[in-house]
Amino acid sequence: MHPGTSLPESGPLAGLLVADFSRILAGPYAAMLLADMGAEVVKVESPSGDDTRSWVPPAREGVSTYFLGVNRGKRSIALDLRDAGDVTVARELIRRADVVIENLKPGGMARFGLDYETVRTSNPGLVYVSISGFGTGPGRDVPGYDLMIQAVSGLMSLTGDPDGPPYRAGISVFDVMAGNHAAIGALAALRHRDRTGSGQHIEINLLSSALTGLVNHSSAWVAGGTVPYRMGNAHPSVFPYEPLPTADDDLIVTAANDSQFDKLCTVLGIPHVAEDSRFARNADRTANRHELRPLLIERLRQKTALEWFDLLTAAGVPCGPIQTIDGGFAMAERFGLDPVVDVGEGDRAVPTTRHPIRFSATPAVYRLPPPELDEHGAELRKWLSEDV
């Protein structure tokens, strides 16, 4: 039914065909999540390839690790949508697909007759996911990059030292969030199709993903009329919930409720502090954080961050050392999470980060390494030319 039938169909989405017309991060990430869950994903690229193929350093054997990180499990076909023959190939791929993911500027697919309203006539069950920066209204012509969204959404105003400049987050957080929303939307629409037989158009925009992703800060403004402000690593509503110095490195301590705070004080050898009326409840601790912080630091400075991590974790107090990314993977290994999976065989094997969802009956699959540009073009063109 789909290309690549020599590969065993498995995973919860086995049997679904996804046409991925997206590039860079949000769309490719969403499509990769679906591929991990068993969908057959065809990545449609321009003849010059996805932009991220050239985003180096870093690279692995000359290939951008950025591209490798969000494109496993896919087959690549290069199509020039300015060419009528290639548009015909694209249209046939969409006719056979269960899901389309695209992130051209709003109206971009319509230039080639590949927009939802056009293609739904030949595929009424199609789930068509469009990702943009600012939606299809007055912001339709504004390009949407994650850094822009971090700026205009207000995230950067919350990130950094109180007296310093705004900072971007260390990752493209809203691209990833929008990619997750795109995958969720596609799955919900597929469920609707199972019941009704009808597909639908799903629209995701980065700014809306950002505003919902700002969660308590969005609610502070929408429900409380309060504009949150930059607090460095502090939390506006909880204390302790920030890095605190130890004998060597800072340790994140997140005693977010009264019980956890009691346990923290017991391990630190200051149980009387938990009984102090200034610190007995979270609201008290938050209001009196400047008095409480030095009491905690005095005790924490007696051991190293890793020593406290073991002691506090054993007592049920959430905490963690501040590590570089290699340390994060090492901790995942320590906890048996097996965070790295090799995809492909021999020289084509690529280490990638494990799919985040564990399924008890239909585990994620890792069938194909990130593709070379147009690696599967010939077989896909042949398949799409055959009658089905």
271-296: pLDDT as tens digits: 999 999 999 999 999 999 999 999 99
Q: Where are the domains of the chain?
A: 17-213+338-385, 241-334
This prediction's pTM: 0.93
Mean pLDDT rounded to a whole number for the chain: 96
For the chain, the first-to-last Cα distance in angstroms comes to 8
Q: Quote the pLDDT of residue 387.
A: 80
User: Which residues are catalytically annotated?
Assistant: 175
Q: Which of the four pLDDT bands, split at 50, 70 and 90, describes residue 9?
A: confident
The answer to whether domain 241-334 has CATH 3.30.1540.10 is yes
Distance CA 284, CA 239 (A): 9
Three-class DSSP category at 107:
coil
221-239: pLDDT as tens digits: 999 999 999 999 999 999 9
What is the percentage of the chain residues whose pLDDT exceeds 70? 98
Helix 26-36 × helix 173-196 angle, to 10°: 50
Is the pLDDT at 66 greater than 70, yes or no?
yes
241-334: same fold as 17-213+338-385?
Answer: no
Q: Which of the four pLDDT bands, split at 50, 70 and 90, describes residue 267?
A: very high
311-351: pLDDT as tens digits: 999 999 999 999 999 999 999 999 999 999 999 998 889 99
Q: Quote the pLDDT of residue 170.
A: 95
Q: 338: Cβ–Cβ under 8 A, 6 or more apart, which residues?
A: 332, 354
Is the pLDDT at 242 greater than 60, yes or no?
yes
CB 321 within 8 A of CB 251: yes
Q: Which of the four pLDDT bands, split at 50, 70 and 90, describes residue 1?
A: very low
Q: What average pLDDT score do residues 67-74 get?
A: 98
What CATH architecture applies to the domain 17-213+338-385?
Answer: 3-Layer(aba) Sandwich (3.40)
